[in-house]
Every structure is written in C-alpha cells, then in structure tokens.
C-alpha cells in the first residue's frame, strides 16, 4: 500500500492513477484518507468491512438493499423497519406538521439547548 499526500497526487496524478491499477494507493488528506479505486464499471459499489458488519447486524428478515433508496447506501435505509416508519410519517398528514423552523446556526443552537 502506498500512502501519498494531496500535493503528491496533484503533481504526479498520472503516475498514481497507473500505480492504483497495480496496488492500493491512499491519499492522506488532513486526518482522513481517500482510497484510489480503479474499475471498468462506474456504477460499481465498494463497501468497507464496517459497513458489511453493520449490515449483518440487522436481523435478516428486515434487511433490504439501501442503495435502492439512497445513493449513499446509508445503513439506516438497509432496515425495512426504518423505511416503513419513514413511509408512514410521509403519508400521515399529522406527522408532516412542521414543529420548529430554524433560520440560522444561532437559532439551531438555542433550539437544541432547549431540548
């Protein structure tokens, strides 16, 4: 595995793209890492081990494909119970009432402190 900086990838983009076809290349950006993944399929989905672990923690009878609902694949949408609650909330006029509207960060902070 090759870990490089954002400066290195800017100056030698072609080199690192070619290297990523042969080995794992990771760009360190601050405290985070960006993995370069080479694929012939632009719509292919790549998952990490933590995502798979979280998915498997959902009881099998409630598991659904979250990518059919959310392009991010958020695990919230992988649980049929959550999706059903959302659908109920959207379809029930009582659930759609706006309780509080905040217009800026200060109002949001005040609202959160009041909870």
Would you list the domain boundaries of the chain? 1-38, 43-115
Q: Is 63 left (phi over 0), alpha (psi -120 to 50) or beta?
A: beta
Instruction: Examine the pLDDT at 93 and tell me if it is beyond 80.
Output: no
CATH number belonging to domain 1-38 = 3.40.1620
Q: Residue 92: what pLDDT?
A: 77
- Tell me which residue of 9, 12, 11, 48 sits closest to 28, measured CA to CA: 9
CB atoms within 10 A of CB 27: 20
pLDDT band at 114 (very low <50, low <70, confident <90, very high): confident
**Mean pLDDT value across the chain:** 91
pLDDT band at 60 (very low <50, low <70, confident <90, very high): very high
Q: Residue 28: what pLDDT?
A: 96
Answer for the pair 41, 65: CB distance below 8 angstroms, yes or no.
Answer: no
Name the helix (H) or strand (E) containing 4: strand 2-5
Q: What is the pTM of this model?
A: 0.61
Mean pLDDT value across residues 50-58: 97
């Amino acid at each position: 595995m090759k870990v490089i900086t954002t400066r290195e990838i800017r100056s030698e983009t072609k080199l690192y793209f070619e290297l990523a076809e042969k080995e794992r290349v990771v760009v360190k950006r601050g405290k985070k890492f960006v993995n370069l993944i080479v694929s012939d399929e632009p719509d292919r989905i790549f998952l990490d081990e933590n995502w798979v672990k979280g998915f498997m923690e959902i009881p099998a009878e409630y598991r659904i494909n979250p990518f059919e609902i959310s392009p991010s694949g958020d695990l919230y949408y992988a649980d049929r119970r959550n999706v059903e609650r959302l659908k109920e909330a959207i379809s029930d006029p009582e659930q759609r009432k706006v309780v509080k509207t905040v217009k800026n960060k200060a109002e949001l902070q005040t609202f959160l402190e009041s909870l």
